[in-house]
Amino acid sequence: MNAVTQNRRHYEDLAVGEVVDLGRTTVTRDMIITFAREFDPFPFHLDEAAAKASLLGGLAASGWQTAALTLRMLGDTFLKTIASMGGLGFSDLKWKKPVMVGDTISGTATISELRRSRSHPERGILTLDFDIRNQRGEPVMTMRLANLVEVRQPETGSVPTPEVPFDVTHAGTA
Amino acid sequence: MNAVTQNRRHYEDLAVGEVVDLGRTTVTRDMIITFAREFDPFPFHLDEAAAKASLLGGLAASGWQTAALTLRMLGDTFLKTIASMGGLGFSDLKWKKPVMVGDTISGTATISELRRSRSHPERGILTLDFDIRNQRGEPVMTMRLANLVEVRQPETGSVPTPEVPFDVTHAGTA
């Protein structure tokens, strides 16, 4: 527990099944091109004609931008309200459909698992499953994120030792 | 095959076990803060004092920035040289250690799997395993990426049908 996070929700305050509404973000041409120039400078993320000729069928955001925008939505709607200690990693990220110029993405993050760290009693590990969709309700991305959250009372309760999908022992932030 | 990609390496030109040297990128304070402001505005990515008090121990890049910078390195060193049709998704991304101000990341991407799409004979699916390290050789991130690559001669060769880790049938870009 520390001064910054003491009034935020801790591990003990979270429950499997809780659904976070991530809000929505509209993806503009400028956003797509700016991100692509820095991180993913492929013609189908930069040029309308090249994009039309590609599998994407038109100018579309880098899938990594969709992921980064989702992270931002998660931060604004959820991570800032809990005693987050940082991310561990993620798994099973799938891009289902391209996010095109003018699309509005929205979605949910559902708490699918909560467990205590074996090696650090003050750390809880929170797993979130994401379902991101466009304005027509079509899935555009799914992923599973593992994030650390402070345990309010580390001395209390048992620390179960299930199979550990993320190598918490060696992770720099765990 | 198309005019843009015809002189690039295709599915048939790639081999499991090939190792791509991703080059190197130095992460500056400005880069960390600019990225964090847009996508991951947490105190430990924005403020030196808050970062020192956190698990990170100092100002560190968002893990998602490490991923995006890795994508950029992959694009510059490899994806631009092959007939890439876009990404499908990734799995098992793990942040092993924080990337701090001034750190230089480098690493490799190894082709760990090559297979043909069942539903689209002109598409191959390339799996890359990443090993990203800092200037001390310490692992900072690992991940596995699935990417589409054009088959030069779709009419040739068998299309095996192994277990499909990514839902290629329904993916927007597959």
> What is the tens place of the pLDDT at every residue in B54-83?
888 899 999 999 999 999 999 999 999 999
pLDDT at A174 over 60: no
Contact residues, chain A, for B84 at CB < 8 Å = 42
- pLDDT class for A5, splitting at 50, 70, 90? confident
CB contact under 8 A, A93 and B93: yes
CB contact under 8 A, A92 and B91: yes
Q: Tell me: the pLDDT tens digits for A132-147?
A: 999 999 999 999 999 9
Which chain B residue has the Cα nearest residue A146?
A: B94
Q: What is the per-residue pLDDT across A101-124, written as a single tens digit (0 to 9) for each? A: 999 999 999 999 999 999 999 999
Q: How confident is the model at residue A43 (pLDDT cuts 50, 70, 90)?
A: confident
What integer is the mean pLDDT of B94-110? 97
**B16-34 pLDDT tens trace:** 999 999 999 999 999 999 9
Of A2, A55, A79, the CB nearest to B85: A55
> Taking 60 as the threshold, does the pLDDT of residue B138 lie above it?
yes
A126, A10 contact by CB (below 8 A): no
Q: How do residues B36-56 score in pLDDT, each as one tens digit?
A: 999 998 888 999 998 998 888
Q: What is the pLDDT of residue A11?
A: 97
Contact B172 A40 (CB under 8 A): no
Helix (H, G, I), strand (E, B) or coil at B21: strand
Whether the full predicted model's pTM is greater than 0.90, yes or no, is: no
DSSP-derived secondary structure for chain A? --TTTTTSB-GGG--TT-EEEEEEEE--HHHHHHHHHHH---HHHH-HHHHHHSTT-S-B--HHHHHHHHHHHHHHHTGGGBTEEEEEEEEEEEE-S--BTT-EEEEEEEEEEEEE-SS-TTEEEEEEEEEEE-TTS-EEEEEEEEEEEE-S-TTSS-------SS-TTT-TT-
pLDDT at A95 over 70: yes
> In the predicted model, what is the mean pLDDT of residues A61-84?
95
pLDDT 10s digits, A157-171:
665 544 444 444 334
Contact between A85 and B55 using a beta-carbon 8 Å cutoff: yes
- Residue with the bigger pLDDT between A4 and B169: it is A4
- Give the A:B interface size as CB pairs under 8 Å: 133
Best CA proximity match to A45, nearest among A58, A57, A60? A60
Average pLDDT, integer, range A84-98: 92
Rounded mean pLDDT, A56-75? 93
Highest mean pLDDT range out of A33-42, A154-163, B105-114, B154-163? Answer: B105-114
Is residue B165's pLDDT more than 80?
A: no
From chain A, pick out residues whose CB is under 8 angstroms from the CB of B85: 54-55
A95 interaction partners in chain B (CB closer than 8 Å): 87-89, 171-173
Interface test with B, best of A32, A62, A85, A93 (most B CBs within 10 A): A93
- Say if residue B170's pLDDT is above 50: no
Given A79, A143, A171, which is nearest B96 (Cβ)? A171
